[in-house]
Structure formats: structure tokens, C-alpha cells
Amino acid sequence: MHAAHDPQAAALRTLLRSVGQIVLQPNAWTGAGLLAALLICEPRLACAAAMGAVTANVVALLVGGDDAATRAGLHGFNGALAALAAFSFIADPAEAVAIAILAATATAALGEPWSHWLRTRGLSCYSSPCLIVTWSWLPFHHIVATPTAAATATHAITTFATLAPVDAARGVFGGLAQIAFASGALPGLLMFAGIAAASRRTALVALSGAALASGAQLLCGASLSSFDAGLLGCNGALTALALVDSGVATMLGALAIAVLLQQLAIRWGWPAMTAPFVLATWSMQWLRRHTFDTLRRVPALDPQSHEEPQVTQARATG
């Protein structure tokens, strides 16, 4: 009973849920799994995620954000992602800390009005505040090779045809790790375990999304080194997580869009981060909403019936 009313325990749960929301799970155990994955990959990434989440939550509190949303981690996870992006793209530690704090602050200030604007159009916020804020400063900085990508370059895969099951598993689990700018099979496995703590079915869907997206991009000509680094599966995993309850056809359609968008970003040399996932999921949400609107305008077959289909939208957890 005492733990339930302990402010420190409540603050810790909020922090962990904020990190868990990076993979769309408002679960403290999921957040603990992600922090453990980041700590194993590179301790400074774990520090960045915690710093960004705390900063964003404090700013959300100061600007009058909804308390329930803050406790669910909805205000903190974009701050965590923005801080992780800063630490991944900026080599100088002091500059990375400064940009991380400013970026996390900006995501929290932007989050509430931007999320409201999206909700009125039937769209979920996801990681779009992080993308907007990061892309706003990224053109003014020299992008360094991310340490997470370099760390996975020690294992070389020669050709797609010789891809061994161990190599395939390494690349797929690495795709989960890349969601949080980490790398490697072990961090990806810890993230998988964290998602499974919230839902085993959801964890398997995320892994399947990473595998399908990675395979599709390899067939489209993506490099095996990118697969080995986990860069091909992260958007597929997030897309599957976001649409886990929307049906197989919707999920596969969104995965195809995400693969296409990531291939275009690779060709243009632009750091897409989670943009393919966000745009692909928005596309399917827009399509479903307009399909429902069209069906509602169709006259009922039964002239005695005056009931219209009820369209409800579940609250997004990411």
C-alpha cells in the first residue's frame, strides 16, 4: 500500500512507462527492458533516454499537460527519442547534452497542440514530434556515423543467398534494437522481452514486422550490412506494433508503404529514423477513416432502420 502512494515510486513508473512508449507500450517493465538494452549497448544511450524522458515530463507538467497522459508515458517518450537522436548524431558530448535537453523540451511543448490537431483528423501522434524537432536542427549539424551502426560492422555477411539462420536472427533482433537507436542482437532480445512483459502476442507481432520489412528491403536491393546493423527492420516492427489490432491486411499494407518510404529515404541519403513507420501508419488510418465515412454515406438497405455504423477510435498508446 505504501508503494502505491510513494511519490518516488510513481515518478519511476512514469519514467519507465515513458521509455516503454518508444515501442508503444505503456508498461513499466517494457521500459525497464528498453533501458537495460540501451545500457548494454552503450550506457550513454540509457542516460540520454532517461534524461530526455524526465525533461519532457517536467515540461509537460509546467505547460499544463494532462496528468493521466503523463503517467502513461505519452508526454515523455518523444523527449527520450529526441535525446537519443541527439546523442546518436552529435559526436561532442557537451553539445549532445545541450541539444538533447532543448529537443526534449521542444517535443513536450509541441506535443499537446500537435497531438490535438492530429486527433481531429483521425491520426495518432506517435513519434512525429521527435521527427519534427530533430529534422529542425539536423541540417545545421554534421551528421556523424552513429556508434550503434559502427558497432555492428564487425560481423560481415557476404551475400543474401548465404544468409545463415544465426545471421538472420541477429539482423531481425537488431531491427528491434534500432527502434531506440541501439544495435545488436542482445539489446534487441532484451527489448523483445520487455515488449513480451506487456504482451507476448504483441512481441511476436513486432518481431514478425521486423522480419517481413527486412526481407522485403533485402529483396528490393538493400545492403546486407544494413540488415546486419538492424537498420531495415525497425520501422517494420513499429508499424506492426501500431496496427497489431487492425487486421492482417491493414498491417501488410502499411508495411509495404513503410518499406517503400525507407527505400526512398536511403536513395536520397536522408536519415528517415521512424518517419516511414509514422507516414505508413497515418496512410492506413486516413484510408480507414475515409472508407468508414464513405460507408456511412451509403443509404441503409433496410428502409426501416435508421441506425448508422458506430465508429470509435481507441486512444493511441504511442
Per-residue pLDDT tens over the stretch 153-192: 344 444 555 678 888 999 999 999 999 999 999 999 999 9
Per-residue pLDDT tens over the stretch 215-253: 999 998 888 889 989 999 999 999 999 999 999 999 999
- Per-position DSSP letters for the chain, written without gaps between them: -TGGG-HHHHHHHHHHHHHHGGGT---HHHHHHHHHHHHHH-HHHHHHHHHHHHHHHHHHHHTT--HHHHHTTTTTHHHHHHHHHHHHH--SHHHHHHHHHHHHHHHHHHHHHHHHHHHTTT---TTHHHHHHHHHHGGGSPPPPPHHHHHTTTS----GGG--HHHHHHHHHHHHHGGGT--SHHHHHHHHHHHHHH-HHHHHHHHHHHHHHHHHHHHTT--HHHHHTTTTTHHHHHHHHHTTTS-HHHHHHHHHHHHHHHHHHHHHT---TTHHHHHHHHHHHHHHHHHHHHHHHSPPSSTT---------PPP--
User: Is pLDDT at 283 greater than 60 in this prediction?
Assistant: yes
User: Is pLDDT at 299 greater than 90 in this prediction?
Assistant: no
CATH numbers and ranges of domains, the chain: 3-290 (1.10.3430.10)
